[in-house]
Structure 1
Amino acid sequence: MEKTGGYGADLLGLMMSQSKEQGTVNVTSNASLSTEEIIDECKTFYFAGHETTSVRLTWSIILLGIHQDWQEQGRREVLEICGRNNYPDADCLSRLKIVGMIINEALRLYPPAVSLPRQACESMKLGRLSIPAGTQLELPILAIHHDPALWGNDANEFNPGRFGEGIAKAAKHPMAFMPFGTGPTICVGLNFALLEAKLVLAMILQKISFVTSPSYTHAPMLLVTLKPQYGAQIIFHPLD
């Protein structure tokens, strides 16, 4: 691997080795980064990686704490496929259909990113609309995910079963589910994020049962991502 100037070969190290301040590359190169740019990239990694995964799992735990029937279905699947004492491996995770359905439904109800901003690079036609170049567009993911015209009269209810035949058939339009965005700029970390969430949730279901505490107050709040305003009060019990 190419040397990274003593900063290591991980992503941060590669960016540091390209820093304009280090003089390791031509400062006019498009590949060079300033310290401020590196800090901004790290912030992006945190919010797009750690923050979104944390919120995704938090809502999944809250919803399963409320809906004990789905928690039991998910746990039964995990124990049948992965066992009680084995860490879930790649083969196990690929077979956890119900766990995947639970995560998708949590993402539908409470997507970490509630909207998708876009800007028209050039003038264009969208159906009967004429959109001038430079127009800022906002795609309301949260509203689309709760639209009864797309998801049915139970659009506001937790029902992972709607994903039983896959994402494309979960709603009346195959593109109605977009927690990671859509199109050519869809989140590059989509597969990793879903794999990470499925792994953590499976390991929790293996060892722990839980219920939402009576002190929990349901109050979704948008603060960069969509999160519970007063936290997630959950009562955990180790499985016998």
Structure 2
Amino acid sequence: LVEQVLNFMATGHDTTASALTWATLALSQNPHVVERLRAEAEPLYRRSSPLAFSDIEHLHYLDCFLREVVRVYCPVSGIPREAIEDVIIAGQLIPKGTIVMPVPAVIQHNPTIWGEDASQFDPDRWDRISGTASESTYAWAAFGHGPRACIGKAFAMLNFKTVILALVAQYNFEPLRDEKVEVVNPSGQLRPKGDLWMRVSKAI
């Protein structure tokens, strides 16, 4: 029970908070993305009825934005896995019982998979990806895959999208410092080193 509680606290709270932190950075550095998100959701903003799950799921650009945030700014530093049998990978024997730590960010920034602009933030890439990036489910690996994949993936994505919809509906974001943001890994989640300086103003 304790392990389950710790798991939900770490993966259900910290990772979502980390992803949303990076999302605000992306919004501040890409005002055209804010406008695209706002325009796509405009029909929903005018409605008086509460949003339904299906409403949010049909927002294509919002989905591309989420996937690109998690790809470029992967919230988790590694996903531990135990080898259930001896296996050889790239000529290296990994004995049964060995704990290995795949690092999603390495895969998600690999130019062989994502192109020479792999480190650039571009939600539109999800409409033009091809090759391994589109064919392999492991190219976008932040939530893991297989029977041990993140149990809260759908819920986390819904939470993220709901918060982003609320933010872009009400606010504009502008960076106050034109500098490279350093990344730290204090507790398994990748976070900015220090504060993110930006001006947040009410959207007209």
Fold agreement, TM-score > 0.5 = yes
Moved more, 122-131 or 97-106: 122-131
Q: CA deviation at 1:233?
A: 2.3
Structure 1 vs Structure 2 CA RMSD = 2.3
Q: Is the 8 A contact 2:113 2:132 kept in 1?
A: no
Distance between the aligned counterparts of 1:102 and 1:237, measured in 2?
21
**Is the counterpart of residue 193 in structure 1 residue 156 in structure 2?**
yes
- After TM superposition, give the deviation of residue 206 of structure 1 in Å: 1.1
Q: How many residues align?
A: 201
Greater CA drift, 228-237 or 102-111: 228-237
2:171 is aligned with 1:204: no
Q: Distance in 1 between matches of 2:32 and 2:143?
A: 27
Partner of 1:55: 18
* Structure 2, unaligned runs of 5 or more: none
Q: Say which SS state the counterpart of residue 173 (structure 2) adopts.
A: strand
* TM-score (normalised: structure 2): 0.88
**Greater radius of gyration (CA):** 1
The 1:214–1:124 alpha-carbon spacing in structure 2 relative to 1, beyond 3 Å, is closer
Whether contact under 8 Å (1:84, 1:207) holds in the other structure is no
Task: Say if 2:72 and 2:121, in contact at 8 Å, map to a contact too.
Answer: yes
Higher relative contact order by CA 8 Å / sep ≥ 6: 1 or 2? 2
Deviates more, 1:177-186 or 1:229-238: 229-238
1:133 CA drift (Å): 1.4
Partner of 1:237: 201
* Structure 2 counterparts to residues 116-195 of structure 1, below 5 A: 116-126=79-89, 129-164=92-127, 171=133, 173-174=135-136, 175-195=138-158
CA contact (8 A) 1:60 1:106 kept: yes
Q: Does the 8 Å CA contact 1:84/1:206 hold for their aligned counterparts?
A: no
How far, CA to CA, are the matches of 1:148 and 1:103 in structure 2?
Answer: 20
The Cα offsets for residues 133-174 of structure 1, whole Å up to 9 and x where unpaired, read as 1222221211111110010010010011111268x8782652
* Alignment partners' CA distance in 2, 1:201 and 1:117: 29
Amino acid paired to 1:143: V
Distance 1:216 1:42, change over 3 A: farther
User: Is the Cα contact below 8 Å between 2:175 and 2:197 reproduced in 1?
Assistant: yes
How far apart are 1:231 and its partner, in Å?
2.3
3-state DSSP class of the match of 1:210? strand
**Paired position in structure 1 for 2:45:** 83
Which has the larger displacement, 109-118 or 191-200?
109-118
TM-score normalised to structure 1 length: 0.75
Q: How far apart, in 1, do the equivalents of 2:178 and 2:90 lie?
A: 49
Contact 2:62 2:161 in 1 (8 A): yes
CA change 1:103–1:181 in 2 (3 A) is: same
1:25 corresponds in structure 2 to none
